[in-house]
């Protein structure tokens, strides 16, 4: 009588997102190695599975820290430095003996007076203050005085940085909203993948029983190896054991070779594999 290796069961709800994604990634690789047809799947079923895995991958891999934070911090430093220089230059100009520069500085001081100390304001409030300052300086008389004091380039650069800061602040807010939404989307995607995963287990198992091939048999072996590995890592995490140095490739493979293990008939020894949960049934 022929013997067939039955796929191991795994409780998907016990897995955190990283473990869950690892399992799905590895399964996707195994299907690609064996080909969908080789394990009884249609191209449409494989595409549906891959699309859900890719969706989950994008959601889980969203960074918890915005990449824009460092750039915004640098822009904030530049903006503060320019404001400090602008206020200091006008204050210094008011004491110069050259009448033209002194008069221009005095006129500009009246304009900037309400905005002094803007550097110490909360960042977004500072953005609003700088916008108001730039509007007040955007008059013919103010522009003439700015030119006299050779501050035209500084004002132009200040406007550019302030505009860029406002744009990136909005972009970061949108990213944070996307992260919040991803928490909901991840759960929904996992629920859909649970059903697809169960279907793949049934289909591939049936294929290996009804129409067995070397490819389908190797797929079942490797699929069980993946499940064992994911279970082991989950047990390490939930049990508090440390497994940072443990290999996470499929047994009997090299990392660069993936999981394409040549098929050999399996006759599990009950004394090996750590108990019923880790040993596939043989029928």
Q: What is the pLDDT of residues 216-240, one digit of tens each?
A: 999 999 999 999 999 999 999 888 4
| DSSP per residue, the chain | ----BPPPP--GGGS-HHHHHHHHHHHHHHHHHH-TGGGT--HHHHHHHHHHHHHHHHHHTS-SS-THHHHHHHHHHHHHHHHHHHHHHHHHHTT-S-HHHHHHHHHHHHHHGGGTTGGGS-HHHHHHHHHHHHHHT-SHHHHHHHHHTT-HHHHHHHHHHHHHHHHHHHHHHHHHHHHHHHHHHHHHHHHHHHHHHHHHHHHHHHHHHHS--HHHHHHHHHHHHHHHHHHHHHHHHHHT---TTS--SPTT--GGGTT-PPP------TTSSSSGGGS--B-
* pLDDT given at position 68: 80
Task: Read off the pLDDT of each residue in 12-28 and give the average, rounded to a whole number.
Answer: 94
Work out the percent of the chain whose per-residue pLDDT is above 90.
Answer: 65
Task: For residue 52, count other CB atoms closer than 10 A to its CB.
Answer: 19
| pLDDT confidence of residue 119 | 93
Query: Of the ranges 35-39, 101-105, 212-216, 250-254, which one carries the lowest mean pLDDT score?
Result: 250-254
Mean local confidence (pLDDT), 179-191: 76
Is pLDDT at 111 greater than 70 in this prediction? yes
Residues 36-64 pLDDT 10s: 999 999 999 999 999 999 988 877 765 54
What pLDDT does 280 receive? Answer: 53
**pLDDT confidence of residue 131:** 97
pLDDT of 265 strictly over 60: no
Average pLDDT, the chain: 83
Q: How far apart are the first and last CA of the chain?
A: 9
Contact 55, 17 (CB under 8 A): no
pLDDT per position as a tens digit, 145-164? 999 999 999 999 999 999 99
Q: What is the pLDDT of residue 185?
A: 78
Domain ranges of the chain: 12-64+193-278, 68-176
- Asked whether 189 and 54 are in contact (CB, 8 A), the reply is no
């Amino acid at each position: 009588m022929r013997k067939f290796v039955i796929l191991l069961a795994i409780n998907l709800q016990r897995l955190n997102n990283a473990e869950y994604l690892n399992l799905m990634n590895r399964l996707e690789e195994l299907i690609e190695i064996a080909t969908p047809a080789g394990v009884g799947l249609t191209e449409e079923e494989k595409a549906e599975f891959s699309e859900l895995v890719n969706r989950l991958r994008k959601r889980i891999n969203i960074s918890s820290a915005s990449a824009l934070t460092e750039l915004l911090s640098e822009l904030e430093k530049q903006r503060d430095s320019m404001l400090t220089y602008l206020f200091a230059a006008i204050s210094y100009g008011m004491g110069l003996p050259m009448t033209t520069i002194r008069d221009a500085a005095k006129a500009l001081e009246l304009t900037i007076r309400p905005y002094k100390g803007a550097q110490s304001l909360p960042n977004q409030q500072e953005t609003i203050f700088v916008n108001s300052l730039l509007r007040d300086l955007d008059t013919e008389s103010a522009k003439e005085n700015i030119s006299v004091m050779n501050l035209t380039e500084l004002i132009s650069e200040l406007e550019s940085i302030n505009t860029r800061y406002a744009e990136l602040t909005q972009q970061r807010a949108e990213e944070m909203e996307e992260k919040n939404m991803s928490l909901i989307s991840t759960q929904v995607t996992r629920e859909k993948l649970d059903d697809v995963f169960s279907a793949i287990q049934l289909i591939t198992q049936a294929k290996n029983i009804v129409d067995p091939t070397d490819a389908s048999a190797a797929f079942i072996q490797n699929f069980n190896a993946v499940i064992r590995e994911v279970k082991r890592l989950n047990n390490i995490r939930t049990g508090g054991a440390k497994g940072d140095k443990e290999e996470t490739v499929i047994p009997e493979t090299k990392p660069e070779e993936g999981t394409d293990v040549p098929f050999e008939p399996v006759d599990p020894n009950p004394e090996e594999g750590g108990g019923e949960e880790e040993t596939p049934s043989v029928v």
